[in-house]
Structure 1
């Protein structure tokens, strides 16, 4: 059974996000072992300098690296990543499993994104869209797409 870890910078606070995440966590049980890891987001002033942003990204990257599972594939969600369809995501996840990558780790940065070093370290840079979304919403969207990918692989009617 594949293991999926979603490493997120920032904590869900809004009830509707928490409920949506809990629903997907429950749905995943028959497809994979899912672990959601929330890491603290660095506090920044209202108008941070580029140096302050870089320090925050570096601190968040260090926290991510401490929790990064060994082995497997790392997928960084970032705007400059490559977008793909739900079917392509499903196919790619299947290919990784066949290649022995039973651990998939998805990285979601905080409000200022992910450190460039993490993006370079990733096996795959994935973009959800050329649009910008709040990172909390991106987490729910990612969970739904991973769930959909498993449904596609299983041949269910969930994906139409």
Structure 2
């Protein structure tokens, strides 16, 4: 199995990079994890709704270009479905046994997602009703992917 995380924006904080690096290392026995970061589109101060929509559309197209062909596409979205850790593990397991060898997760930038990106997703998922930075979400996502593999192997995943 190959998992790809595609995000708009570069990680700036060392503690987030270190956390992602740690969970990426822990995932190596289970899967290949690729992380692709694209530059965020520039948003003008106080954009009109039309300007914002246009910029999100451009960014969404750039994100979608990075998705490997024949990959199951999860898009992290504030309006997505809430999954427990066990439900995410079950979804990953089900996709694996039905022949999906590539999973992709997209994390949009600070200004949200385009409608096209939402419509293209095979699954929209949300981590919480609370708002997190898209950079923090990347760390949370990598940890949850690791936790999913531990759950699916019947191994302890919390203390």
Please, which runs of 5 or more residues in structure 2 have no aligned partner? none
2:119 is the counterpart of 1:110: no
Match of 1:99 in 2: 98
Match of 2:49 in 1: 50
Question: Which contiguous aligned blocks of 4+ residues in structure 1 show a shift greater than 4 angstroms?
Answer: none
Please, which runs of 5 or more residues in structure 1 have no aligned partner? none
What CA deviation, in whole Å up to 9, does each residue of 1:90-120 have, x standing for no partner? 0000001111111000010000111111111
Q: How many Å separate the matches in 2 of 1:95 and 1:159?
A: 22
Q: Secondary structure at the match of 2:7?
A: strand
- The RMSD of aligned alpha carbons is 1.0
Match of 1:133 in 2: 132
Q: How many Å separate the matches in 1 of 2:110 and 2:54?
A: 14
Shift of 1:51: 1.7
Q: How many Å separate the matches in 2 of 1:141 and 1:51?
A: 32
2:83 is the counterpart of 1:84: yes
Q: How many Å separate the matches in 1 of 2:115 and 2:158?
A: 34
Greater shift after overlay, 145-154 or 40-49? 40-49
2:20 is the counterpart of 1:21: yes
Equivalent residues of 2:86, 2:148 under 8 A apart: yes
Equivalent residues of 2:61, 2:117 under 8 A apart: no
Q: How many Å separate the matches in 2 of 1:133 and 1:146?
A: 18
**How many equivalent residue pairs?**
159
Q: What is the TM-score when the length of structure 1 is the normalising length? A: 0.95
